[in-house]
Structure formats: structure tokens, C-alpha cells
Amino acid sequence: MSDRRSLADATTMRVGGEAQRWIEATTREAVAAAYAELLDDEYEPHLILGGGSNTVASSEPFDGTVLRVATRGIRTLAAAQPPRRPAGEEPPADDAVVLRVEAGESWDAVVAQAVDEGLAGLEALSGIPGSMGAAPIQNIGAYGQELSSTLVGIELLTLDRETDELVVRHVPAAELRLGYRDSAIKRGLLSGVVLSVDVRLRRTADRRSQPVAYQQLATALGVELGTRVPLEDVRASVLELRRSKGMVLSDDPDSVSAGSFFTNPIVSARFASGLPQEAPRWSVSPQPLATVLPLDADTPVPSLDRPVPQVKLSAAWLIEQSGIARGFSLPGSRAAVSSKHTLALTNRGGATGEQVAELARFVQARVENQFGVHLVPEPVLVGLRL
């Protein structure tokens, strides 16, 4: 289906101008036909859109085509079926199950179905808005889980450079080069349209989760880190935590956002040592082991091949400590920092994409001036620059 539609109507931030052309593709065949047409006109701007939860667009008209992938379907791959057992034999603690999910499915609906079926691996990712096809591009994560821990691979509709024809290629997770909110697709190393996503989950006999790996979630559940708890309890606690931060789509004005607007910066441990002692930080690379040397030994020269120890900082802490409070907005702007969480920028009603970008630039400048840390935006920016 092709018509004219505004990006503001299809994104959770509710900003964006009218697209010159809009294609809603509900079948794989429709996706392929539309994408082939877009590739034929290499000079026409185009945007591949899923749930619109990670897109912030200019309020100026989009002079091109928006292809929204709205395919549906979830199936269990035959090869992942549990093995047959003698009658009366108890199943093992868990069985691997691989789900193939079409790109247009709602991410949270998939998580909810997995929890209902006793499948562990996605429960801490409850409440994240958006579509399944966008998840591997961003390598979404929250509360101690990341998609990379369960992702098997994707089906990618891509152009074969040798034959100049569109092909469907299965791309294993390893080839996606998944990192912190990053992937080969996001970096432009792979191009195409995600058609489906394969995730490997565990069918647990006791319907319990993966070990809880995030302190805030463990505290909310009243358990120690590493504890396995009922899947339903993890989902309920995560949804409650996200609601308290305005991170679940609802009537809450703070939920009119693109979620976390900035990624948590990753810096060298040496750089982090110059920040205030109370600045939260988490190691993301192995620390070098201490070496005991005789008093008369020469000090060893550090190897250039040894990776530099890195730590992850809290973007929210940096923003708050730079003097930007919850609810902050620039004079005359309808864009504001969330009243619940400084990591989210919100549309208070009638904001333009340009106002959101202006606020983001202001936040970036305050943090960089105060701490020397450059905050990187998490959403895809369309027609906007920071």
C-alpha cells in the first residue's frame, strides 16, 4: 500500500514531517518489490522503518519514500524441537528452542509470548518498544540482558553485487559484529532489509528466568544477583521499573520519547580515573593482572598489543551532574528532558524534530564542557544533525 503519511504519526517521539511517499509492506513479497524499486532509483532518499521507537525526524517534509516493514509471523524452527524421550521420562532442566520471528512483529509482544510459553532469554528485555527487525541493528539491551546473548542470526534481503539481484541471505550473529547498541548494519558494513530474526531461548522445566544479572532488577525482585526467579516475576518487575522511568508506551507524557537518547559512554579506565570518585562506572574489558617483580627487576614495557582497559560510564549521571535536571527545557521549546529520567528527551506536545535536536545539542555541550565526554545519540536521526 502506498500513500502519504507523516513520520510524526509513526514514531514514538511524535515528530517528523510528511513523507513524499509511504509504503506499508505486510508481506515479504511486498517488502522485496518495494525495496527493489527503491534501489532502482539510487538518488531518491528512502527510509526503512519498523516500529518507529528509535527514530527522530525533522519536521520538514521528507522528500523521499518511507518503507515500513509490517510483516507478521512467529514459528519454531524444526531443527530446534526438543528430542523425543521415552514415555514417562522427565525432560531435562531446559531445552534449546529457536524462534524465527518476522521483522514487523512487536518486540514486546514476542517477549510476552516467550514468557507465556516458559521460554527464558528475553524476559529482562520486556517493555522495549519497537519491532523485531530493528532489534539486531541496535543490539537492544536492558537490565543485564542483550539480544546478542540469544541471537542466532537474521534473514537479510540484500543486493548481490555479482548478479545485481536481490537475494535473501542468512547472516549469522557473528557476522553482525554486535557491540554495545551497535552492529555491522548500523555502521553501514552490511546493507539491506531485515526480514526475520532467529533467537535461541531455553524452555525451562521450572519456568524460571536466566540468572538475574542487574543489581537494580535484583533489588526490585528482592533476590541476590545470579538468582533464577519465575519468568513472570522478572517481566512484571522490569515493566514496573520501566514505567517508573516513563519508558513504557502509555498515556504518560514522559513516554513520548525515543527511550534513552544517549548511549552510556565507554572510555579508557585511565580517563575515567580523572572523573569524580562517585561517578558510576563498570568495567567492560579485562583488567590487567597485577605482577609481582623483584626489587632489582626492570619495569616491563607495556605491550602495544594488550587491549586498553575500558569502563562504561553512566550518561544519566553525567547529564545530571552537568547541571541539567529532570524536566529541563530550553526557553520556548516543547522538547524537554523527561521528568523521571534524564537520559530520555520527550515531546511535551507540539515539539518539532529541530527542537529535540537543539535540546540534545545543549545536553551534549554541557556534559562535554563539564567532563570532557562526548555523548553519542542512540536514535536514528532523519534530516537532523547534532
CA neighbours closer than 13 Å in the CB half-sphere of residue 188: 1
Question: How would you classify the pairing of strands 257-260 and 119-120?
Answer: unpaired
**Separation CA 373–CA 377 (nearest Å):** 13
Residue 135's nearest CA partner among 212, 206, 199 is 199
**Separation CA 133–CA 280 (nearest Å):** 32
Q: Are 340 and 3 a contacting pair, CB within 8 Å?
A: no
Q: Are 350 and 8 a contacting pair, CB within 8 Å?
A: no
**Separation CA 359–CA 364 (nearest Å):** 9
Q: Which residues are catalytic?
A: 181, 260, 378
**Separation CA 300–CA 18 (nearest Å):** 62
Q: Are 7 and 50 a contacting pair, CB within 8 Å?
A: no
